């Protein structure tokens, strides 16, 4: 079965997802929407003729089976609900929404109209995370008492695969919904919930090194009501390091052993050479290549999208449920409230 796919928003993530779809069986991008004529021209140059300046027109007139939503955060609720009302399956970049109320509106529409829905949390699909999860699930570490999760980078201000200007909405706290806590915290809270379930917030401290209109770093303490595991989460947009350097890790300290994603990390440069050579061989042998595998981390974006479309095609259960997506947002909203209480 071939699915007609629309991409809403052609920023760096929209372009990445569009290119990844070219390597996914059953997913054919037939339409895109973006307010920028330059981005629409980019899409046309890659064979997409059905382009829209307004994402609502694509949803209502684009004749698509599924959409990939990479719009600004404040547009998630309107676009997600409209897609659900039109019976269109949705892959949406995190966060679910800017507020719990908006998130509930999206999830209610998803459930009412019975569409497939998944939030993009690519960290679950990073090889080192998958291997660490396997160790934990198999009991190798024993009971994990403490988990440390860290994600420090430049945030939206860092160069991507190709440098692009930072959109204006990122500097509006109402439109962005928050800073590093919402952006990076969504990933790390999702991971803690995936590992240990029944996540609860115990403490949050927000920082602002660069005087942005929101936080650029945060330290968070989580707890699992199921396993009693405590999670210490460190987040930041303050680092000036750039890819391939990536200050990201999860460490689990258990009663039987301990392990870190650092244990499973390849040398990023040797991995790039190895995967590059493999891609050359696969092309020569007319076999499928693994897009962006040479970057190690960015390959997870392909894996999550491939999982989504596989679930749509086979009517399988998504790894990331709508309820998990909403719970992550609930913890973040509670954290912002807790931080305001600290400052009062």
- What are the DSSP calls for 182-238, one per residue? HHHHHHHHHHHHHHH-SEEEEEEEEE-SS--SS-SEEEEEEEETTT--EEEEEEES-
Is residue 105 within a helix (H) or strand (E), and if so which, with residue range?
A: helix 100-113
Widest distance between CA atoms in the chain: 64
CB half-sphere exposure, 43, CA atoms < 13 A: 30
* Mean pLDDT, rounded, of the chain: 93
- With left for phi above 0 and alpha for psi between -120 and 50, is residue 56 left, alpha or beta? alpha
CA distance 125 to 76: 23
pLDDT in tens, 128-173: 999 999 999 999 999 999 999 999 998 877 655 566 778 889 889 9
Strand 50-52 and strand 27-33: the pairing is parallel
Name 284's Cβ contacts closer than 8 Å, sequence gap at least 6.
none
Q: Give 10-residue mean pLDDT values along the chain (344 residues).
A: 94 95 95 96 95 97 97 97 98 98 98 98 97 98 98 78 76 93 97 98 96 95 97 94 86 98 91 82 77 89 97 94 97 96 68
Structural domains of the chain, ranges and CATH numbers in brackets: 3-115 (3.40.50.720), 124-266+323-343 (3.30.360.10)
CB 90 within 8 A of CB 115: yes
Q: Which of 21, 37, 89, 81 is closest to 56 using CA atoms? A: 81
């Amino acid at each position: 079965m071939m699915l007609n796919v629309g991409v809403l928003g052609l920023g760096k993530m929209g372009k990445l997802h569009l290119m990844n779809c070219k390597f996914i069986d059953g997913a054919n991008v037939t339409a895109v929407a973006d307010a920028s004529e330059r981005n629409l021209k980019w899409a046309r140059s890659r064979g997409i003729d059905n382009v829209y300046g307004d994402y609502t027109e694509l949803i209502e007139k684009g004749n698509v089976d599924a959409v990939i939503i990479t719009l600004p955060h404040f547009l998630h609720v309107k676009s997600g609900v409209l897609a659900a009302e039109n019976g269109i399956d949705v892959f949406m970049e995190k966060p679910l929404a800017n507020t719990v109320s908006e998130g509930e509106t999206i999830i209610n529409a998803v459930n009412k109209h019975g569409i497939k829905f998944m939030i993009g949390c690519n960290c679950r699909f990073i090889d080192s995370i998958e291997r660490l999860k396997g160790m934990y699930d198999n009991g190798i570490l024993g009971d994990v008492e403490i988990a440390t999760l860290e994600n420090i980078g430049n945030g939206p201000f860092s160069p991507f695969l190709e440098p692009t200007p930072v959109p204006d909405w990122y500097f509006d706290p109402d439109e962005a919904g928050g800073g590093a806590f919402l952006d990076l915290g969504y990933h790390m809270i999702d991971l803690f919930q995936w590992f240990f379930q029944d996540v609860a917030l115990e403490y949050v401290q927000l920082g602002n090194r660069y005087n942005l209109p929101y936080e650029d770093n945060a330290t968070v303490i989580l707890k699992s009501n199921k396993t009693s595991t405590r999670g210490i989460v460190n987040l930041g947009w303050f680092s000036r390091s750039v890819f391939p350097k990536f200050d990201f890790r999860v460490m689990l300290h258990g009663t039987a052993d301990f392990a870190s994603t650092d244990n499973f990390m390849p040398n990023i440069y040797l991995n790039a050479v190895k995967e590059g050579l493999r891609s050359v061989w696969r092309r020569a042998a007319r076999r499928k290549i693994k897009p962006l595998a040479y970057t190690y981390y960015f390959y997870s974006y392909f894996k999550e999208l491939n999982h989504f479309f596989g679930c749509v095609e086979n009517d399988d259960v998504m790894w990331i449920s709508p309820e998990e997506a909403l719970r992550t947002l609930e913890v973040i909203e509670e954290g912002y409230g807790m931080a305001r209480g600290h400052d009062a």
